[in-house]
Amino acid sequence: MAFHIQLPGKIYMMLVILECLAMVTAIVTAIVFAGDVANSTVQVEVIQLCVLALVVTIAFCYFSIDAVIKENLFQFLASYVAHFCLFLFTLWNWSTPGDPSESLNKITGMAFWAVTALQIIYLLLAYFVYDSFGWYVYKVVGANADMQSMYTATQIFSTLLKLDAVCTTELLLMAAFFIYGATASMTTDIILASVAYVFQTAWALWVFRGVRKEDGRLVKYILYVAWILPAYVLYKMVQEGIDRQGLSNFDSITWGLFFAAFVSFMFRGLLVYWAYRCRKNFGRGLKERVFNYESKANGDG
C-alpha cells in the first residue's frame, strides 16, 4: 500500500514484532524444557498453557500491525486488550507457587518482566500512535462525514469479528484441554468441538463476505445461526457445573473457562449488533468507495 506510516507507528510495530518473536521463542523453549519435568501431568499442562499463550501472542501481533497499517483505532485498542491478557497470563504463571522446574521458572520470570515493561511502553506510545492516524482513512474515505461514519462501523465490525474468532479459539482449546480430557465421552466431545470450530470458521468467513459484498440477504440468514455455537458452549458450561456439583467445587482453571465463555458471549452479541448496523449502510456507496479500493491496494483485483 502506497501510504506513509509515521514514526510512532513504526516504533510500535517494531517493538511488537520483536516482542512476539521473543514470546514465541520463550514458548517453544518452555515446551522443550517441559520434557525435564518428572510429572507427566504437569508436562501436559505446561504444553497446553503454552499453546494458549501462543494463540494470544499471534493475535496480538496481527491486531497491532494490521491496526497501524489500516489505521483502525478499535483494532488498535483490541491489541492492547490482547497484550493485557498476555500480561495477566505471565503474571499468573510467575506468581503461582510450585514451579515444575528451575528452567521453566526462569523463563516465566523473564517473560513476565519483559511483558510488564513493554506494557508500560505501549501505554506511553498509545497517544502518539493514535495521533498519527488519519492519512489512510482520508485516502480511502475522503472528507465526507457520512462515509467516514459508515467506514467506522465496518472497522468496529471487522475488529469484533477477529476478537470473536480469537475468543472462540481460546475457549474451545481450553475446553479440549481442561474439560473434555476428564470426561468419559472425551472422543465425542472433541469431535463435536472440532465440528463446532469448523462451523465457526465458515460462519465468520460468510459474515465477512456478506458485509464486504453488501449482500443483505446473506448477512440476515447467516446471523440467524450466530447463536448455535454459543448455545453449545453454554450447554457444556451448565453440564460442567452439574458434574462438579456446585460452584464451590470449581478450581481456578474452571473459573477461567467460565470467564472466557462470558467474554466470548459478549463479543458475539456485539458482533451481531454491529453486523446489523453495517447492513443498514448497504447500497450507500461504501462498497464502491472503500472495499474496492482496499481490494486493489491489497492486490486482490
* Same domain membership, residue 145 and residue 118: no
Instruction: Break the chain down into helix, strand, coil percent, rounded to 5.
Output: 85, 0, 15
- What's the pLDDT score for residue 1? 46
Q: Is the distance from CB of 13 to CB of 65 less than 8 angstroms?
A: yes
C-alpha count within 13 angstroms, C-beta hemisphere, residue 182:
11
Domain boundary pick from 111, 133, 155:
133
Band (63; pLDDT cuts 50, 70, 90): very high
- What's the pLDDT score for residue 68? 92
Return the C-alpha torsion angle 35, 169, 12, 145, nearest 10. 180
Band (259; pLDDT cuts 50, 70, 90): confident
- What's the pLDDT score for residue 15? 95
pLDDT at 120 over 90: yes
pLDDT at 299 over 60: no
- Taking the mean position of all CA atoms in its chain, how far away is CA 48? 17
* Same domain membership, residue 189 and residue 169: yes
Question: Of the segments 172-181, 196-205, 290-299, which one has the largest average pLDDT value?
Answer: 196-205
Instruction: With both helix axes pointing from N to C terminus, report the angle between 216-224 and 186-212 in degrees, rounded to the nearest 10.
Output: 160
* Same domain membership, residue 274 and residue 226: yes
Domain boundary pick from 86, 107, 133:
133
Q: What span, in angstroms and rounded, lies between the C-alpha atoms of 204 and 193?
A: 16
Angle among Cα 82, 61, 116 to the nearest 5 degrees reads 55
- What's the pLDDT score for residue 209? 84
How many CB atoms sit inside 10 A of residue 159's CB? 25
Domain boundary pick from 100, 133, 166:
133
Q: Residue 146: which domain range?
A: 141-301
Band (124; pLDDT cuts 50, 70, 90): very high
Q: What span, in angstroms and rounded, lies between the C-alpha atoms of 291 and 218?
A: 17
- What's the pLDDT score for residue 2? 41
Rounded to two decimals, the pTM is: 0.80
Q: What span, in angstroms and rounded, lies between the C-alpha atoms of 158 and 226?
A: 16
Give the least confident one: 61-70, 98-107, 267-276, 287-296.
Answer: 287-296
What is the average pLDDT score of the chain?
80
* Same domain membership, residue 151 and residue 123: no
